[in-house]
Amino acid sequence: MKILVTGAAGFIGMHTCEALLKRGDKVLGIDNLSDYYDTSLKKDRLKILNKNKNFTFIKLDIASDDFLKRVCKFNPSKIIHLAAQAGVRHSLKNPADYIHSNIKGFLNILQVSVSLKVKHLTYASSSSVYGNNSHIKLSELHNVDHPISFYAVSKKTNELMAHSFSHLYKLPTSGMRFFTVYGPWGRPDMAGIIFIKKILENKKINVFNHGKMIRDFTYIDDIVRGILKINDKVATPSSKYNPASPSPAISSAPFRVFNLGNSNPVNLLDFVKEIEKNLGKKAKINFMPIQKGDVKRTSADISLVNKWIKFTPNIKINEGVKNLVSWYRNYYLKQNG
pLDDT in single tens digits along all 337 residues of the chain: 999 999 999 999 999 999 999 999 999 999 999 988 899 999 999 999 999 999 999 999 999 988 888 888 889 999 999 999 887 777 777 888 899 999 999 999 999 999 999 999 999 999 999 988 888 799 999 999 998 889 999 999 999 999 999 999 999 999 999 999 999 999 999 999 999 999 999 999 999 888 888 999 999 999 999 999 999 999 999 999 999 988 888 999 999 999 999 999 999 999 999 999 999 999 999 998 988 777 788 899 999 999 999 999 999 999 999 999 999 999 997 765 5
In angstroms, rounded to a whole number, what is the distance separating the alpha carbons of residues 321 and 183? 7
- In 3-state terms, what secondary structure has residue 172? coil
- Supply the DSSP symbol for 24: T
For residue 51, give the nearest of 7, 13, 17 by alpha carbon. 17
For residue 125, give the nearest of 39, 33, 230 by alpha carbon. 230
For residue 101, give the nearest of 59, 37, 45, 158 by alpha carbon. 158
In a domain, 327, yes or no: no
What is the span of the domain harbouring residue 148? Answer: 2-184+217-262+300-314
CATH number at residue 18: 3.40.50.720
Question: Is 261 within 8 Å of 216 (Cβ atoms)?
Answer: yes
In a domain, 280, yes or no: no
Sign of torsion, CA 270 140 94 292?
negative
In a domain, 194, yes or no: no
In angstroms, rounded to a whole number, what is the distance separating the alpha carbons of residues 26 and 52? 10
Q: Quick one: the chain helix, strand, coil %, rounded to 5? A: 45, 15, 40
Residue 65 exposed, middle or buried by CB count within 10 Å (0-12, 13-18, 19+): exposed
Helix (H) or strand (E) run with residue 4 in it: strand 2-6
Please state the separation of Cα 331 from the chain's center in Å. Answer: 22
Strand partners, 65: none
In angstroms, rounded to a whole number, what is the distance separating the alpha carbons of residues 91 and 107? 19
In a domain, 322, yes or no: no
Question: What's the one-letter identity of residue 51?
Answer: K
- Catalytic site positions: 151
Global pTM?
0.95
Number of domains present in the structure of the chain: 1
Give phi and psi for 30, each to the nearest 5.
-125, 140
Question: Is 228 within 8 Å of 20 (Cβ atoms)?
Answer: yes
In a domain, 144, yes or no: yes
In a domain, 204, yes or no: no
